[in-house]
Amino acid sequence: MTQGRTAQLVIVLAVVAMGLISVLATWSSPATSSDAATSAPTTLVPRPTSTTATPVTTVASSTPDPAPSTTGTEGPPETTGPTTTAVPPDPYAWMDLVGTPGTTFVGVSTANGELAEVEEFSRATGVDPEVVMISRDWATPDFDLTTIEQITAAGHLPMIAWEPWDHTVESTFDRRRGEQPEYALARIIAGDFDEEIEQWAAGLAEWDRPVAIRFAHEMNGYWYPWAESTNGNRSGQYVAAWRHVHDIFTRAGADQVIWVWNPNLDDPNLTPLEGLYPGDDYVDWVGLVGYLGNGIDPSVYVPTFDQLFGPTIDIVRSFTDRPIVITEIGATEDGGQKAGWISHVIDAIASRSDVVGFIWFEVDKETDWRVVSSPEALEAFTDAVSDPRLGIPRS
């Protein structure tokens, strides 16, 4: 009996001793690698927030990188090495498409060339015009970029009707308004205005954004002082003056300027167009002007697009293939044909690959040329410009 109890006691003490040894071993052993991976921080180092395209090199830290997570709830470990951030897209890139065959832009010209007027036009029509045309004369020659910058910032390509005269001269006679000897073509050719021209050229070159210049338009008429048939001007001087101005811009590095040569519609009583064209090296677009109700009673005759513009386009095509832009177009309510004519001419423009855009003359002047002159005219315009062939994506 005593020996049996002694043996049992020895066995119990041995079991207790082995348990104590196991506990002490657990206290003194280090954590396993899987425990370390579980307890270590797993937050990835943020990517650089630089907005430039400069390579960013990862510099080694004095502490080791945390072990990658093995839980499967996070992505692959971040790699180190040079990285670059995306370059922001050019907000003006779409403007390179303006005037290219296969695209047709919609533009507007308002009474005062103010952005608020353009926004009013957009609200009424639902159109965000690609081009906005404004006018600047040489009587106030100082270069001012304010309005041009506002137009560009609002997402429009500015076109400047740049006019070598004083537009404030009041006269009921077109020929008298055209007689302004201080703006004779000979003076432009002689360099009398070079200082002002150079200021504009240098300013636009430094600005370096796309801009169209419609210089000395409707030169085949008699109502502007740069026309060869008035103001003491002579044959050949218009081309010489144009090239003189263009060359100054070229020397200044204003290569982004789009030059728009813009006669009035051909007429037997006006100067022939062939002798007024400066040449393809000096012209990017050909502009044309045409209205319903300008000199023709629409209650008697309503011309189609081809009847109004076709003869002049044929003449232009005899000496250049430059893209055509209808830089001024409008219609009177007289005769009750405005809405139907709007629908017709816009469809005709959209159908022609050589006409790359039009600028609606949204002005109440000799008559109300605007598309908002009546609900019918506005509806016709809104429906017409919804044509998917019109407009240029901004992105």
Q: What is the pLDDT of residue 279?
A: 99
Identify the residue with better confidence: 175 or 273.
273
94-103, 282-291, 338-347, range with the lowest pLDDT:
94-103
Question: Going by DSSP bridges, is the β-strand pair 131-137/157-163 parallel, antiparallel, or unpaired?
Answer: parallel
Q: What is the pLDDT of residue 100?
A: 83
Res 177 pLDDT > 60: yes
Residue type, position 287, single letter: G
Res 20 pLDDT > 60: no
Mean of pLDDT over the chain: 83
Tokens 């954004």 map to which residue?
A: 209
Res 49 pLDDT > 50: no
Distance of CA 44 to the CA centre of its chain: 41
125 assigned to some structural domain: yes
Hey, what are 328's tokens?
Answer: 């001024």
- In the chain, the largest separation of any two C-alpha atoms, in whole Å, equals 149
Q: What is the pLDDT of residue 88?
A: 62
* Predicted confidence band of residue 64 (pLDDT cuts 50, 70, 90): very low
279 assigned to some structural domain: yes
Give me the domain span that covers residue 331. 98-385
Hey, what are 252's tokens?
Answer: 């200044």
Hey, what are 298's tokens?
Answer: 């629409």
Provide the number of structural domains found in the chain: 1
Residue type, position 114, single letter: E
Continuous segment of H or E residues that includes residue 290: strand 285-292
Res 57 pLDDT > 70: no
17 assigned to some structural domain: no
75 assigned to some structural domain: no
Query: Across residues 58-63, what is the average pLDDT?
Result: 36
Who's near 93: CB < 8 A, 6+ residues apart?
none
292 assigned to some structural domain: yes
Short-list 90, 82, 12, CA closest to 50: 82
CATH, residue 160: 3.20.20.80
Q: What are the tens digits of pLDDT across the range 298-329?
A: 999 999 999 999 999 999 999 999 999 999 99
Continuous segment of H or E residues that includes residue 359: strand 355-362
Query: What percent of the chain is modeled with pLDDT above 70?
Result: 76
337 assigned to some structural domain: yes
Hey, what are 221's tokens?
Answer: 């008429």
Q: What is the pLDDT of residue 39?
A: 34
Identify the residue with better confidence: 125 or 96.
125
106 assigned to some structural domain: yes
18: helix, coil or strand? helix
CA trace torsion 173, 177, 179, 182 (10° rounding)? 170
78 assigned to some structural domain: no
Helix intervals (H) in the chain: 2-28, 33-39, 115-125, 146-153, 174-177, 185-190, 194-207, 237-252, 305-316, 338-351, 375-385
* Predicted confidence band of residue 188 (pLDDT cuts 50, 70, 90): very high
Asked if residues 326 and 358 have their Cβ atoms less than 8 Å apart, the reply is yes
Q: What is the pLDDT of residue 76?
A: 44
The sign of the CA dihedral 352, 327, 260, 269 is positive
pTM above 0.85, yes or no: no
Looking at the DSSP bridge assignments, the partners of residue 291 are 330
